[in-house]
Amino acid sequence: MIDGFAEPKGATPLDPDEIEGLRFRHVTTRAQLDQLEQANIEEGLLWLARRRKADILTEQFMKQLHRRLFGHVWRWAGTFRLTEKNIGVDPVQISIQLKMLLDDAAYWVEHQTFAPVEAALRFHHRLVWVHPFPNGNGRHARVAADTFLTERFGHAPIDWAGGHDLQRTSIRRNAYIAALRAADAGNYDPLLDFATASTPHRG
C-alpha cells in the first residue's frame, strides 16, 4: 500500500484487519482500488437487475447486496463491521438498528408516510448512519435506496452523481456529505434539494 488508500472527505478509513481482507495483493493506490471496486459494482448491478425479485427490506438482502457489490474485492463483503468508525452505531448495535430501519421503511411504504423520493432518502440516510459494513456503505446504501424506490414505489432511481463522480471530492460530493450531516441533525431538506435538483419529483 503506497498512498494508504487516501480517502475523500466523508469516507471511513479502513483499519489494518480490514485491509487484510483485500483479495488483490498487487493493489497499492486508491485509484486502482476504485477501479476494482467499480468493476465489481457493475457486476453486482447486473445481478441486482436479473435476480428473482424478493423482499429487499431484510437483513439477508442487505448483506447479499453488499456481497454482490464488493465480494470480488473484499473478503469481508456482506458481513457486518466489527470495529468502531467515526460514523455509525456501535458494532454490537448494527443488527438491531438495521432491523428497526427495515421495519420503519416497510411501514413508510404501507402507510405512504412520505413521498417516494423522501422515503428513499430517509432510508439511505438511516442506512449510512447505521454504517453496517467496514467500507462501501455509501455506495451500497445508494443502490439500496434506489432499489427501494424502484421496487417498492415503481419510481425512477435518484441521480446521485448528477454528472459527477460521487466517490471523488467534488462540489457534488461536498453537497452530498453536507446534506447527510444536516440529516444527522434531523433536517432532511438539504438532502431533498440535493436529490430533486436532478431527479424528477413524481412523489
State the residues that interact with ligand ADP by CB under 6 A. 10-12, 87, 128-129, 135-139, 141, 177, 180-181, 184
Cell readout for 172 is 457534488
Task: Please report how close the Cβ of residue 110 comes to ligand ADP at its closest, in angstroms.
Answer: 26
Give ∠ CA 195-161-74 in degrees, rounded to 5: 120
> What is residue 22's three-state secondary structure?
strand
Q: Are 135 and 14 in contact (CB under 8 A)?
A: yes
Residue with smaller CB distance to ligand ADP, 17 or 55: 17
Residue with smaller CB distance to ligand ADP, 33 or 119: 33
Residue with smaller CB distance to ligand ADP, 156 or 166: 166
Nearest residue to ligand ADP by CB is 138
Helices (H), 84-188: 94-111, 116-130, 137-153, 171-184
Note whether 33 binds Mg ion by CB under 5 A.
no
> What is residue 44's three-state secondary structure?
helix
Helix and strand element counts for the chain (H, E) = 8, 0
Residue with smaller CB distance to ligand ADP, 121 or 141: 141
Residue 139 near which of ligand ADP, Mg ion, none (CB within 5-8 Å, type-dependent): ligand ADP
Residue 94 near which of ligand ADP, Mg ion, none (CB within 5-8 Å, type-dependent): none
Give ∠ CA 162-166-168 in degrees, rounded to 5: 135
Using CB under 5 A, which of 135, 147, 150, 199 touches Mg ion? 135
- Site residues (CB under 5 A) for Mg ion? 11, 135
